[in-house]
Every structure is written in C-alpha cells, then in structure tokens.
Structure 1
Amino acid sequence: MSDTTIREYTEESRESTTEREDEEEQESVSTCPECGGRLINDSEHGETICEECGLVVEEDSIDHGPEWRAFDAQEKDEKSRVGAPTTTMMHDKGLSTNIGWQNKDAYGNSLSSRQRQKMQRLRTWNERFRTRDSKERNLKQALGEIDRMASALGLPETVRETASVIYRRALSDNLLPGRSIEGVATAALYAAARQAGTPRSLDEITLVSRVDKMELTRTYRYVVRQLNLEIKPADPESYVPRFASDLDLTEEVTRRSRDLISNAREAGILSGKSPVGLAAAAIYAASLLCNQKVTQSEVSEVANISEVTIRNRYKEILEADASPTV
C-alpha cells in the first residue's frame, strides 16, 4: 500500500471518528443522563430539565431576550428601545435626537420648575443644532409643507416619500434660486402623485397650496425638465374610483365608466383633453346608463370642473361608445 493511500485512509478514519463523537455529544445533551428522557428548556427559570424524571441538567442559562415583560402589543411598543426607521420625510432622516415635550422624568413624575426651564433650554439648543445651516432649514420647511398638503389631499405615505426625494434632488441640483420653497414643494408633490398613479388635479393642488396655479405649472415644468423625471400623461381612469366614492355610486357605475373611457381611447378622442373632465363626464354618462342618476352640478362639485365641460365631454363619450369599433 502506497504512502498516499495510507494518508487518505488515516484522514477518512479521523473524520468519521470526529463525526461519531459529535453525534454522541449531541445525543447526550438532548437526553437525560439518568433516565434517558427528553430534555426541555424552562426559559422562565433558566434551566434545562428532564421531561420524564425532572432532573435539572443545566441551570442559570443566559436569557437573550429583554429584561422587561409586556402583556399586549401596545405595552410592547412602548417599552421597545428600537427607534423609528429612517425616513426622507424628515430633513435629518430621523437620525438626530428629539427631546420630548412632556415635562416628566423616566418614572412619570412631573419635573420641578427649575428642571422644566433647563429642559426648555435643551430643546431650544437641540433644535438649533438640528438645523445648523440654511440648506437644512430650507429642507425642514419644504418637507413640512409637503406633509401638510399630502394630508389635506389624502395622499399615501409612498407619495410623500417620493415627493421628498424629488425636492431633495431639486435642492442638491441648485434649482431653487429664483423660486419659492412652497412652489417647488408643491411641484414635487404633484409630480410624485402622478408617478404613483394617484394623481390630483391642478385645481385640487392649488386649493391646498400657498402658490397660485400659474406659478405651480411653471415650476412643475421646470423641475420635470431639469431632473429628467419620467411622468406619463394622467389616465382618466385613475380619477374614476375617487369620484365614484365621493358621489356614493355603485361598483357597476365605476366599471361602466372605465368601459366608456376605454372605448373613447380606442376612438381617439382623449388626446388634448383634460383627464379630470373626461373622468367626470364618464361618471355622469355611466350613472345615466345604469339608472343611478346624479346631477351635473354634483359631479362638477366633486371633480372641481364646470358643468359646461361635463356636457361637452359626455356627449363625445356616448358617441364614441355608440359607434362601432373597427
């Protein structure tokens, strides 16, 4: 037998011996040394005991969980030491220290007047350190404005995050000189809503914004062009569920409205027309077809457009629906 063969045989026997020892050790740990019963972990007392005879095999084991106990989800959240996740909705992304407004200590006791004055000074200096330069102050004001408008428009959290990212890009690319903070923030929110497929009309945005419609449209075009944002034209169908919900219409009307818009798209009459007006006209026409009549004034109030627009558009939509498709 050659030296190589002997060496390979020796290594294989050593490995098999090691595996057998590991198996025996694992088996001895999982079974009771007295009766051979199954061992279980008692996390409450930190012990490993035998399920059959009750022998304590190991004690004072390390508890890797928290030192506190919670009896419901709310209490668990209150005692958790994990902070909130980072978010672009805050100018510092939520990484800085925030001193609470409650004048109480860790035990819930009220602070003395001297301690309250001290905490107020600490809050003031903490706020000054959080916004140390003009860029951070600008960002803080704009993100607060975005959050306020998004709440008034009922936009989801994802749209607010996207709008914050767009505004941060505009700020880093130095697009703000010569434009108001409110104007760029409103344009960022309008662009984010259209990107997310939950658009709001310019009139709806203007109602909650501190800038007029002309400044909003001018700033929006500039931001989209400079940042190369890919935003598709607004789809009239994206407005239909919201309008139908505000008018308390059934799902049948919503479905029929989408069919009318789809037929109008195939007929080629959507180009160059306001998607809000088309959605409102489709809602009105579908409600008539489904015998759930609503007035033109009710639809115009919900969609924030004139009744004349609804009359003109719904006739075109009904004509496209009646015409045969090629």
Structure 2
Amino acid sequence: MTDSNTHSRRMDDNSATNFDDQILHRRIKTAERGSETLPVAKAEINRLCAELSLDDSIETVAQAIYRRSLQTDVIQNRTIAEVATATVYASCRIERRAISLTEVASAAATGKKHASRVYSEISRELSLNTGPTDPKDFVPRFCDELDLSKKTEEKAIEILEETMDKGLHSGKSPSAFAAASVYATALLCNEARTQTEVAAVAMVSENTIRTRYQEQIHAMGITEDE
C-alpha cells in the first residue's frame, strides 16, 4: 500500500471517529431515537464494559435498558454518552457487580453529575430493580487490586458487618465505606497500604478514606495505636 493510500485510510478512520464522537455528545431528539443513537450507544456501552472488565451479561442488560429508555421521554435532551453511562451503571446494580458511578463515569465520555441524574431518572421511569449497593461486594476486588491476603479480605468483611449492624454505613458511599474497612484491616493484619493506594483503587479521596476509617475504628472501640 502506498503512503498516500495509508494516509487516506487514516484520514477516513479519524473522520469516522470524529463523527461518532459528535453523535455521542449530541443531545437526543425525538427523531433520532431509533436511528442514529442505538448503534453509537451500543458501541459506547461495549467500550465501557470492555474497559471496566465487565461481564457480557452486564453489557447485554445495559443495551436492553438503553433500548427501553428510547421509548420514554426521560432521555430527551440528554447526550448518548450520558445515557449509555447511566445504563451501564444501572446494569451493574441489577447484576450486583460492585462498581461505583465514579468508576463508570471516569471511563466514560461524560461527567458523574450528569450521569447520576440520568441514572436516577431512568431507574425511576423504568422501575428498575437496582436495589441498594452492599459495601461488602467491593471488598474482594479492592483486596485483589491491593494484593492483600484472603485473611485480610475476610477480616475486612467482618469489620463491615459489625459497623453496618450499628448503622454506620447509612447515607455513605458504599465503595468508600468498603475501602476504609480494607485500609483498617490491612493495618491490623500487618499488610498496611497507604491511604493514597486505597483511595486510588476505590476512586475516592484520601480524606474520605481517613474519615470513614476513623468512624469505623471508633465504633469498634479500637484506637489508632493498636
């Protein structure tokens, strides 16, 4: 293939990508519901699921939610990127895959604030059975990414169960609450990880880890010197 042909093909590929990006960030209008939006949305859902290492079942459910959303008014004036992000997160909740909206939005081409609003509206409009997120579901993945032992993982779940029985998790981010228990347990089991490391895995701030950690050890009667 000649250099000119290669250059031409690259220009065509870039043009196609730019075209898809333009559609992805364009607000959905009534006439676009069944035409341009679905192929681009399916591609974005596929990309998000691949980047986040999500199961095929989550991708399938997310696409089904998107198709159902097209029949409602809730997606009017939303971008395809926002709706695709919201449907992937909703699918994770339905399939009990522990992942935060922050993680999904970070991998997506949209912001958390907008995706959160769309997720809430779609869940309500479609009566999705998303249910509450259990902080314990995050522990295995966090421990795996931090290279912590099975003993530490089991102890972190024990801490969560004890503090959740006290209602300490109410109104708090499930992923941050779980991350704090992992941080606390790693210290107790002599597998200490820094707040920076734990915060990076959970995609929350170090200050949040510190606050939740202090709340948990206080509730269990543990001092920071122990």
Question: Mapping of 1:165-180 within 5 angstroms?
Answer: 165-180=64-79
State the alpha-carbon separation in 2 of the partners of residues 147 and 276 from structure 1.
24
- The answer to whether 1:318 aligns with 2:217 is yes
Query: Which of residues 54, 60, 77 in structure 2 aligns to 1:161?
Result: 60
Percentage identity across aligned positions? 37
Structure 2 match to 1:207: 106
Q: SS state of the match for residue 172, structure 1? A: coil
Equivalent pair of 2:75/2:118 in contact (CA under 8 Å): no
- Alignment RMSD, CA only? 1.5
State the AA in 2 paired with 1:213: K
**Superposition pairs for residues 79-228 of structure 1, below 5 Å?**
134=32, 135-228=34-127
What is the SS of the residue equivalent to 1:218?
Answer: helix
Question: Structure 1, residues 200-250: CA drift from partner, whole Å, max 9, x if none?
Answer: 212211211111111111111111111111211111111111110110000
Does the CA contact (< 8 Å) of 2:155 and 2:185 recur in 1?
yes
So what's the TM-score if we normalise by structure 2? 0.80
Structure 2 distance, partners of 1:308, 1:174, is: 39
- Match in the other structure for 2:179: 280
Paired AA for residue 219 in structure 2: A
Aligned counterpart, 2:20: none
CA deviation after TM superposition for structure 1 residue 137, in Å: 3.0
> Where does residue 14 of structure 2 map in the other structure?
none
TM-score, normalised relative to structure 1: 0.56
Map of 1:245 onto structure 2? 144
Structure 1 stretches of 4+ with a deviation exceeding 4 A read: none
| Aligned residue number for residue 16 of structure 2 | none
Q: State the distance in 1 between where 2:196 and 2:81 align.
A: 32
Query: What is the CA–CA distance in structure 2 between the aligned matches of 1:290 and 1:160, rounded to whole Å?
Result: 37
The one-letter amino acid of 2:167's match is G
SS at match of 1:278: helix
1:278–1:313 Cα contact (<8 Å) kept: yes
Equivalent AA in structure 2 for residue 236 of structure 1: P
1:250-261 matches, within 5 Å, as: 250-261=149-160
Which 5+ residue runs of structure 2 have no aligned equivalent?
1-30
1:293 is the counterpart of 2:192:
yes
Partner of 1:239: helix, strand, or coil? helix
Partner of 2:8: none
Q: Counterpart of 2:124 in structure 1: which amino acid?
A: R
Could you report, residue by residue, the CA deviation over 1:187-208 in whole angstroms, capped at 9, with x for unpaired residues? 1100000111113212211211
- SS of 2:96's equivalent in the other structure is coil
Q: Secondary structure at the match of 1:319?
A: helix
1:265 aligns with 2:203: no
CA distance in 2, matches of 1:233, 1:321: 24
Higher relative contact order (CA 8 A, sep 6+): 2
Give, in whole Å, the separation in 2 of the partners of 1:158 and 1:251: 27
AA in 2 matched with 1:264: T
How far residue 174 of structure 1 moved from its aligned partner, in angstroms, is: 4.4
